[in-house]
Structure 1
Amino acid sequence: MPEKPLAGLKILVTRPRDQAVLLAQRIEQAGGIPLRFPLLEIAPVQDAGTLHEQVSRLAQFNLAVFVSPNAVKYGIAAIRAEGDIPCPPQNIVIEPSDRGRADGRQLPQSAGFAGNVSLPPALRIATVGQGSAKVLHQLGIANVIAPTERFDSEGLLALPEMQNIAGWRVIIFRGDGGREFLGDALKARGAAVEYAVCYQRSKPQWDARALLEAAPDAITVTSSEALVYLWQMLGDAQGDRLCGIPLFVPHKRIAELARQQGWLRVQLTDAGDDGLLSALVAWGSEDRGLRTDS
């Protein structure tokens, strides 16, 4: 394998800005040229009154589920901002921030702010992916229920810890407009479920011509919502100009949607930055070999 397997290759990175940093750096280390083109913007909810009311009752729940790294980031921020949850504290060290809220209370923008956060000691913590689990571990939460093979709601629901939950009260931290599948499945098993909407997504205004002029050699997309927006932005005519470019996605659900849209070279990768980079490197090495042979 060449030392710089992505040398000269332009890779479109479509994650939200904050989440794209590490992947872009690793692409550069492999010799590639990361083109940052965030398809979603993430921000705290504007009116967090309901969220903070739910957080104030955190001790009443048996299980808290964080569905994504953003759910961890903004959910933990809300928990820290509440600050007076009536339960013995389990301390987590995070970084400081002074993000303001529409109702005048302080809602930290990032889950890496200095200080302690109180969690009920009996509260079980779960998440659907290894990226979210890693963030929770970094925040000092040792016992996280998370799948080790299939990194989605279905994978979490298959775990032994999630079977006998009749009578449990479950709070699911998520963004606005998230999937209902996990909550519906938990309700079917007898749990009482509340959704805690802790962040909101919006679509940045991009001109499709900027993407076409960038002429990426490969594209990475890590959510179905981002893929839908990408195609909407391009339109069928311009989408047809890009559909032959390798598209790297980390989940079967995204891959199926991509094929339905008409993408011809969909590459299903393992989860996380490691999975994306490994697939990109393998493709880059193969592509370089083909170019050399020709």
Structure 2
Amino acid sequence: MTGVRPAAGSGALQGRVIVVTRPRQQAGELADAIAAQGGLPLLFPLLEIGPAPDPAPLEQVAARLGEFRLAVFVSPNAVQYALPTLLASRPWPPTLQAVAVGPGTVRALAAAGIASCLCPATRFDSEALLELPELAPAQVAGQGVLILRGNGGRELLGDTLAARGARVERLACYSRSGPGAGSGEFLARLEAGGLDALILSSSEALAHLLALVPAAGPRQRLLDLPLFVPHARIAAGASAAGFTRVVLTEAADAGLLAGLCAYNWPQS
């Protein structure tokens, strides 16, 4: 766990301790934006990201990358952990269309030299991706589609594309696991009432959070914290789990920051 960062000047979040639970690799920009608004971001990754335990499947796919028509990167982590191997011995095939679920993944691909990328315009999830005309049944039937993702996760995208006639391969190019050491400080701050809000960006992170906080003791304090989430599916899960102040924001870091800044914080 990373301690509270100092506040920067004044702003809409002045003095508010905001727990950022994104994986460590994706937490920095949002934490900096919170600090720029006077908030105190507390980094507590609820998902640990690392390389896949066996690199062989990715190496084998890299050798036949030209067989695919679409390569779907589900997150910036997929770009980070898959692309170096995919490009180790050949350039990106000109016939292979890169597809990204969200803008962070688009930026990661662009930084690696892949500028032509399909991505939803507003909602950033599998459902929005499947609405793209390029992924319609007539476009994907008979085509090879590679989905680059972490272990586990939702099967909606791959199952739907397969039902539309695509030849789908799912490849876990990175691993995801629950939080390691560091929950003690978070629990101590929670029990002491030293937190103002939480940010959650995945249903998996929500499950890890609930598993960390015992049903007795600080659980109710956790459930009463304002919880900011960028997707209706996460909001529904949080409400079902008993969170009393769930705030559904627009997508990505910008949406979460706007929701935090617009929130009606109690006067101290």
Change beyond 3 A, Cα 1:119–1:242: same
Counterparts of 2:79 and 2:146 in 1: how far apart (Å)? 13
Partner of 2:80: 73
Partner of 2:233: 253
The question of 1:131 aligning with 2:104 is answered yes
Partner of 1:228: 207
Counting only pairs closer than 5 Å after superposition, residues 18-167 of structure 1 correspond to structure 2 as: 18-80=25-87, 83-85=88-90, 118-163=91-136, 164=138, 165-167=140-142
How many angstroms does 1:176 deviate by?
A: 0.6
How many angstroms does 1:20 deviate by?
A: 0.9
Which amino acid is 2:93 matched to? P
Which amino acid is 1:170 matched to? V
Which amino acid is 1:119 matched to? W
The question of 1:169 aligning with 2:144 is answered yes
Which amino acid is 1:223 matched to? S
Change beyond 3 A, Cα 1:3–1:262: same
Give unpaired runs (5+ residues) of structure 2.
1-8
Match of 2:28, SS state, is helix
Counterparts of 1:136 and 1:84 in 2: how far apart (Å)? 18
Match of 1:219, SS state, is strand
Per the normalisation by structure 1, the TM-score is 0.82
Give unpaired runs (5+ residues) of structure 1.
86-117
Which amino acid is 1:151 matched to? F
Counterparts of 1:228 and 1:206 in 2: how far apart (Å)? 17
Counterparts of 1:207 and 1:44 in 2: how far apart (Å)? 21
**1:216-268 deviation line (CA, Å, top 9, x unaligned):** 10000111111100000102223222111100011111111101110010011
Partner of 1:93: none
CA contact (8 A) 1:13 1:36 kept: yes
Match of 2:170, SS state, is strand
How many angstroms does 1:138 deviate by?
A: 2.6
CA contact (8 A) 2:75 2:105 kept: yes
Which amino acid is 1:15 matched to? R
Match of 1:199, SS state, is strand
Which amino acid is 2:163 matched to? A
Which amino acid is 1:205 matched to? G
How many angstroms does 1:204 deviate by?
A: 2.3
Counterparts of 2:184 and 2:151 in 1: how far apart (Å)? 29
CA contact (8 A) 2:30 2:253 kept: yes
CA contact (8 A) 1:248 1:267 kept: yes
CA contact (8 A) 1:15 1:222 kept: yes
Backbone CA RMSD of aligned residues: 1.6
Change beyond 3 A, Cα 1:84–1:206: closer
**1:193-224 deviation line (CA, Å, top 9, x unaligned):** 00121100122234655223322100001111
Partner of 1:8: 15
**1:10-62 deviation line (CA, Å, top 9, x unaligned):** 00011111211111111111111111111111001121101110111100111
**1:130-156 deviation line (CA, Å, top 9, x unaligned):** 221222223222221111022111101
Match of 2:95, SS state, is coil
Moved more, 242-251 or 136-145: 136-145
Change beyond 3 A, Cα 1:132–1:222: same
